[in-house]
A and B are shown apart, each in its own frame.
Chain A
Amino acid sequence: MNVETSQTEQTYLIKLSGRLVFSDHGEFRHLLNQITAARVKACVIDLAELQSIDSSGLGMFMVALETGKEHGWSLTLRSPRGHVKALIELGKFDRLLTVED
């Protein structure tokens, strides 16, 4: 996966591109620590440029949701496209997580 991050006072914005898969697990965990360390109230993960995702990648969003609950920040997934959007809908992840168009 490729990651671009930016931060405003309240929100941590992460733009993911490429693919989010099994082997990205370590890096994604590290990202979650960064969000928590930034002491923001909200995290938005922009998926518009994310080409593909596997089941481990979807699992990472669930881990992010739990981590946010624990440390007081909310999680929003934004603009999933194509295959990523299809998989989010297939597993009804859009009902477990906040997903914006």
Chain B
Amino acid sequence: MSVGRQEFEGEIGRRFGDNLGFELKNARILIVDDTLTVRAVIAGYLRNYGYINLREACDGAEGIDIALDWNPDLVITDLMMPGMDGFELCYRLHSSPKTENVPILVQTALNKSEERSAVFSAGAADLISKPIDPQELLGRVRTHLEKRRLIARLSDFQRRMENELALARTMQESILPEEEVVARISARYRISMASHYEASIGLGGDLWGLTPIDDDRLLLYSADFSGHGVGSALNTFRLHSFIVGGALQANSPAEWLSRLNTFFYKLLPVGQFATVFCAFIDFARGTFDYASAGAPPPILNAPETAGAFRPLCSAGYPIGLLGEAHYENATCAFPPGSTLFLYSDALIETPEPPDAVFTTQSLCDFLQSLPPDASPLLCKEQVLKHLRKTGMEKPEDDLTIVVLKSEKGLA
């Protein structure tokens, strides 16, 4: 054995020792054994391989004390020891929150399978057969240390990503119209509004907004980028910056969409696009002009439809698909008392068609069934309540609802 050991220390040990990175080299390894020579042999192998952070305990009790104080990355223990044996040590380490995840390698001469399984039941991560074979020892030590390091890295990465996403979510919510902005605009144009925004997986590809044009006219838009998650969310920031930066000057909704299309056509890769609805509401004339780039049909209730909720025609090329897309303007009466209901496709695709709770038509019927003087807030709440009845806690796609009502008798 001593010849083999020398050979090992001389060649293989040096060869592999260089491969230990800083983290592994510094891993804290606790060796528990009542036999001094065995401890010395194990420590010798480990040290020769490159591990520099080793401590030794002569029985289970001392092992526990050191482990709790020193927080080792790995424990190698003997099974049969006076006082506290290896089984007890395993139980104790696993029942303390501080050491519950530390991998424990048990040296054993046990050959019967039930005895070996008893060692695993006690919480050992692995076995090392006695007499100690250096390659087996070093291989298992390294495997378990690397596994522990990977798990630590993954947990770290996950924590960091969660923090990043939480921050991004806050940023994304901040580009939606703020409550006080909505309140100011509502007072200025004598409207009442309600909205709902819900990202499917942390971040979403939906955005809606309001931009005053002049004292009589208000621009309302909603957009939904294809896909969801981070990529779509980044596109909503591009859209928002393009709009608030003042680069998007247009005299009509169709022109507005067309400029948006030119901008995004250059940015979006093939297969990515946005469906967008844009309306210029003119409160002095009691009408609105709109254009649509394939948005789900908005729903309008105006006196001209005899108080009925009806879908608007909203077919059109989505933004970003064609270099030269042409959009059409359409005009609708929108006198005081009228309501416009915008929504993203998640509302009519939850659960997926043909089992969806709402179709555009059944959504019209549902809104029609509410009291005639229902406020935007009530409309929104009732629609959401009905959607949730299916047990769908969270739609699979980003969900946006915007309800705008031109108020009577305030003019």
Contact = CB atoms under 8 A, between A and B. Distances in A.
Interface of A: 19, 21-22, 51-52, 54-56, 58-60, 62-63, 66, 82-83, 89-92, 95-96
Interface string B355-399: 010000000000000000000000000000000000000001100
Interface string B191-225: 00000000000000000000000000000000011
A36 to B, nearest CB: 15
Interface in B268-295: 270-273, 275, 294
B226 A55 contact: yes
Given A21-B396, A55-B275, 5 more contacts: A52-B352, A56-B226, A91-B317, A92-B294, A92-B316
Interface of B: 224-228, 270-273, 275, 294, 296-297, 314-318, 321-322, 345, 349, 352-354, 356, 396-397
Contacts of B317: 91-92, 95-96
B227 A59 contact: yes
Contacts of A89: 315
Given A54-B397, A60-B271, A19 B315 contact: no
Interface class of chain A by DSSP: helix
B226 A58 contact: yes
Contacts of B296: 90
Contacts of A82: 353-354
Contacts of A56: 226-227, 271
B354 A91 contact: no
A92 B271 contact: no
B397 A96 contact: no
A78 B352 CA distance: 21
Contact of A59 (B272, B314, B349): B272
B291 to A, nearest CB: 13
A25 to B, nearest CB: 9
Q: Which of A21, A59, A66 has the most CB of B within 10 A?
A: A59
A90 B315 contact: yes
Nearest to B229: A22
A91 B272 CA distance: 13
Contacts of B228: 22
Given A55-B345, A92-B294, A96-B322, A22 B227 contact: yes
B270 A66 contact: yes
Contacts of A21: 352, 396
A59 B273 contact: yes
A39 to B, nearest CB: 22
B316 to A, nearest CB: 6
A52 B315 contact: no
Given A52-B354, A60-B271, A62-B271, A91 B294 contact: yes
